[in-house]
Amino acid sequence: LLQQLQGKPRPWTARFRATVAVATPGGEVRYAVGECEGEIIPDERGTNGFGYDPIFLIPALGKTMAELSMEEKNRLSHRARAIQNALPILKEMLLQG
């Protein structure tokens, strides 16, 4: 990725996105999306992660995903946000049936 971005104007904006599908036995399927927006930085920082985490900066925090504590990551990550957004759907489905 960094090789592909070299020479391109910065900031290199990026977004992690996760989708959770919630399905009922009757075949109803609903989706919840979670996103985490940031920037790609040219040098890796942090050790708490994998993949793009060391180069994915969250500007508001001044940290990469790999620099976040597990608690911060569980609160801010795209996966955590997708699950949080799925909870009302699950609750509604449980109340319906």
Q: What are the extents of the domains in the chain?
A: 2-96
pLDDT band at 96 (very low <50, low <70, confident <90, very high): confident
Domain 2-96 part of CATH 3.90.950.10: yes
CA distance 28 to 3: 43
| Span 59-80, pLDDT tens digits | 999 999 999 999 999 999 999 9
Whether the predicted pLDDT of 6 surpasses 70: yes
Q: What is the mean pLDDT of the chain?
A: 95
Percent of the chain with pLDDT over 90: 91
| pLDDT value for 97 | 67
| Span 42-61, pLDDT tens digits | 999 999 989 999 999 999 99
Whether the predicted pLDDT of 91 surpasses 70: yes
